[in-house]
Homo-oligomer: A and B are copies of this chain.
């Protein structure tokens, strides 16, 4: 999908660099360092995959034990499915970086993404520390966003700067991910930074709540990664102190955070492996949140729906079949209606009388559109974002390791 126009605001208290360690390909940026100023706090939500990767386990423990000063990220190798050796490798990378920086190993949080099941190339990573530390800057957001990419085709940055209660607030984040995307309480990798002062407990709450409504509402292929992490850092170097804000001003801050989280999450779907369409799934009038989410993911992950979307085919029968099989208890199909943007395709459980193939075709030919299912049984709504399934998805994933 099309390249984004990337603008960003630096975040006071955050320095970064991206260098090439030759993990997968020579010359490609694949090791990224973030340095957090003293006094910064950081909160994380992590993959719920039982085969949680080694760096995720180490990052979680380190962040609980000490004040993080470095985020160490490598691409090209996930250090997942590597057992005790993987833990040892992740720790070793932290120790080496701590040693040259006068810190403890627990002040380094490691993150990895890439191929699962191969030993982490520890020597290659530690060999570039000197170069990475020498090139730290507050400005190289584009380079670090590139440095964490795997099958992504575009770097993903979202950045906002506003004034709240007379104080300037900056929020800037990066993310990566294109396949194995169905984050469960987290995403592939997302790092969001703000210059506000926010205590760690509040920061964790904010991170969880915003990740839930962004990274936890997207799916490319229904596969949850072993390495998902979403980290929110607050440096306290800016003008804004979250604790002293009124409820209204907090709502403004949260709207900006949600904006950045959703833009990053949506950019993952837009860059979904082989994706040619960006599709919003709205489930409305449900009895419970769980049934709305169940149905939204059933539609978003149906290969038959996804291939029809790829073909710009308004094959409403396939959507209807998914609504029927999704497992919503006691569903009264006569109350169900389905829309493609504003075009009603199903009403009273059958094809809408007003529906014309031309009208449906016009909607699904758009690069972005909404599938909306009205269940007619309650007042709960849920929204997720997904993409289509194309030849290129198969090509990318059939050739990934070759």
Report whether A115 and B310 are in contact in the complex, using a CB–CB cutoff of 8 Å: no
Copies in the complex: 2
CB distance from A334 to the nearest CB of B (A): 9
Q: Is the C-beta of A316 less than 8 angstroms from some C-beta in chain B?
A: yes
Q: Is the C-beta of A116 less than 8 angstroms from some C-beta in chain B?
A: yes
Instruction: Please provide the chain A residues from 364 to 388 with a CB less than 8 Å away from any CB of chain B in the complex.
Output: none
Q: A350-B83, A351-B81 are in contact. Are A303 and B49 (CB under 8 A)?
A: no
Interface residue tally for chain A (C-beta within 8 Å): 65
Q: Is the C-beta of A194 less than 8 angstroms from some C-beta in chain B?
A: no
Q: A333-B50, A394-B390 are in contact. Are A221 and B304 (CB under 8 A)?
A: yes
Residue among B49, B400, B401, B402 making CB contact with A321, cutoff 8 Å: B49
CB distance from A81 to the nearest CB of B (A): 5
Smallest CB gap from A346: residue in B: B81
Smallest CB gap from A351: residue in B: B117
CB distance from A79 to the nearest CB of B (A): 11
Residue among B311, B321, B333, B397 making CB contact with A399, cutoff 8 Å: B311
21 A–B contacts, CB within 8 A, in A order: A49-B321, A49-B325, A50-B323, A50-B333, A51-B323, A51-B349, A81-B320, A83-B348, A116-B317, A116-B320, A222-B301, A222-B303, A223-B322, A223-B325, A224-B321, A224-B325, A307-B393, A308-B398, A311-B402, A391-B391, A394-B394
Residue among B48, B179, B321 making CB contact with A304, cutoff 8 Å: B179
Q: Is the C-beta of A302 less than 8 angstroms from some C-beta in chain B?
A: yes
Q: Which residues of B contact A394 (CB under 8 A)?
A: 307, 310, 389-391, 393-394
CA distance A78 to B301 in the complex (A): 23
Contact with B along A326-363 (1 / 0, CB 8 A): 00100101000000000000101111000000000000
